[in-house]
Amino acid sequence: MELVTDFIVIGSGVAGLRTSIALAETGGRVTVLTKDKASESNTEYAQGGVAVVLSDDDDAELHEEDTLVAGAGLCDDKAVEILVTDGTKYVEQLIEWGTEFDREGGKLVFTKEAAHSRRRILHAHGDSTGAELVRSLIARARQERFINLLPFANTESLIVEDGRCIGVRFLDPILRAPREIYANAVIMCTGGAGQLYLHTTNPQVATGDGMAMAYFAGAEMADMEFIQFHPTALSVEGAPRFLLSEAMRGEGGVLRNVNGQRFMDRYDERAELAPRDIVSRSIVAEMRKTGSRNVFLDMTALKEDFLIHRFPTIYETCKHFGLDISKDQLPVSPASHYCMGGVRTDLWGRSTIPGLYAAGEVSCTGVHGANRLASNSLLEGLVFGARAGEAAATDSSKLKVQNPKSSAQSPLILDLGPSTSISTAVKKRVKRVMWERVGILRDKEGLTRAIAEFEQIASSNLSISSRNFVTLALLVAKGALWREESRGGHFRTDFPEQREEFRAHSIQSANKEIMPAGEINFSSMIGKPA
């Protein structure tokens, strides 16, 4: 028996949940497919907070300016304007829905993070903002009787008929077999691909399957070379690369090398509050200079009571590994954290394939440019998740889910081979090559060798998941090789300066070689929903 619904949402992070709520409010049936449990996503691990203009000394123009500066000349101006202006109403809506941001004396508490000119970061339970957003959004979604959450349903491929996305194939968690589900629209909210790298702050589910599925279906991918590396991941033997929030430096933490010397002011006048790409490269340079595997984050100038209250999860996690953040220097080094690129969309989440939408980290609206401003990701998921849901509902209001077998031509089900998980051998090989040759520092020789190795892996008989994984690695490496400059999260040691001729988005698709977009703005692709 075929499954039919009105809308399919893939992913249950902040973007997926907000999209689902927007769709359900129109009266449509929404099926949410998730690879793991409903709460398992990059959102859940977001510590720092959500950037939003709500404090008395802040305004949208300042937030917009900070975002544009961080984006290094590649932001879509209109997308940024929408983010910072609409963001306020969506966060206020979250509060109405019961999201418990931290307060003092009844008033919201704001903190400051790198490259922000104001204290505009809201946080929840100290350093568990993402988890609180997921909790409140899931609670809100469960109030909608038209939303059906289906956990442990791994989406494998998109179903395309006559150039339109009409459904997906997924592994049914009960039958343990592939099934198809059809809908008027598919909204992809599958998150990023941090697991491409040997060292990452992302959970195991962040393997970029959604990006690869869209690519194989023919969607355009944008800016895949721009990967953000978080400067301060805990670097302890045997411990996961646990993220030590940007807010720790925002509250006064300093970075020291293995000789105990503070060093960031030698690299940037903003010191520890410089943008993440600069801090990450500075740490790498300092580690090379001192012949060490890490630097240290020093929080000891702050009071223990404050640190326990402000960073409870971090405090307990470090304590588990024998570190007291109020007394000990915390060993840190960079790790992959966020993908600025992804499925190219307009300002309403529409991809270049009719019927296929994307929101959150899987997408590229141009809002982050070459480097995401800290704590803009949760805000993006809220704003563009709601917009993608609104657009999908409006665009398909006159459509009716069709039985594809009733048409003369069978739909294209992108079957790429067996559906087992990523093979251990492929994962290990890709992650190491990505870290060593397509990482924080890149050059032509390393990128060329990486591409050759990935193409060799891709030529073998791979499972769907393994092919998705190595294909994403190829997209990142090819974008990085094409971009012969350094900008934002992309740094070429052989082209260390920005070049005006590369002030363009890189666009890749399965049918075309890499090419620059004709303009910076994506918003001209398609206008507002009718």
Q: Coil, strand, or helix at residue 356?
A: strand
Task: Read off the pLDDT of each residue in 411-420 and give the average, rounded to a whole number.
Answer: 46
pLDDT at 358 over 90: yes
Name the strands in the sheet holding 506-509, side by side, starting at the edge strand that comes first in the sequence.
363-364, 342-344, 221-222, 506-509, 512-516
Give the pLDDT score at 47. 58
pLDDT value, residue 198: 95
What does residue 508 show for φ and ψ, rounded to 5 degrees?
-130, 140
**Is residue 106 classed exposed, middle or buried when 0-12, 13-18 and 19+ CB atoms within 10 A define those classes?**
exposed
Residue 477's identity, in one-letter code, is A
Q: Which two tokens stand for residue 475?
A: 């997209």
Q: What's the residue count for the chain?
A: 530
Positive or negative, the CA dihedral 155, 161, 162, 165 is negative
Interior angle at CA 349, CA 216 and CA 377, nearest 5? 100
Does residue 401 have a pLDDT over 70? yes
Query: In the predicted model, is pLDDT for residue 478 greater than 50?
Result: yes
From 155, 212, 174, select the one nearest 31 (Cα to Cα): 155
Instruction: Work out the average pLDDT over 28-35.
Output: 93
CA atoms within 13 Å, Cβ hemisphere of 175: 9
Q: Using one digit for the tens of pLDDT, what is the confidence trace for 250-289? A: 899 999 999 999 999 999 999 998 888 899 999 999 999 9
Predicted confidence band of residue 231 (pLDDT cuts 50, 70, 90):
very high
- 397 pLDDT band, cuts 50/70/90, is confident
Contacts of 504 (CB under 8 A, 6+ apart): 516, 517, 518, 519, 520
CATH architecture observed for domain 237-334? Alpha-Beta Complex (3.90)
The single-letter code of the amino acid at 152 is F
Q: Which residue has the higher pLDDT, 399 or 338?
A: 338
Dist. CA 494–CA 430, nearest whole Å: 23
pLDDT at 428 > cutoff 60: yes
Q: Confidence band (pLDDT; 50, 70, 90) for 390?
A: very high
For 434-448, the pLDDT digits (tens) are 999 999 999 999 999
- Per-residue pLDDT reduced to its tens digit, 309-321: 999 999 999 999 9
120, 169, 249, 276: which one is catalytic?
A: 276
Average pLDDT of every residue of the chain: 90
In the numeric block, the tokens 């060799």 are attached to: 456
Range scoring the smallest mean pLDDT among 4-18, 109-123, 410-424: 410-424
- Is 276 a residue of the active site? yes
**333 - beta bridge partners?**
233
Identify the band that residue 517 occupies on the pLDDT scale cut at 50, 70 and 90: low
Predicted confidence (pLDDT) at residue 411 exceeds the cutoff of 60: no
Q: What is the mean pLDDT of residues 149-156?
A: 89
Domain edges within the chain: 237-334
Contact 202, 192 (CB under 8 A): yes
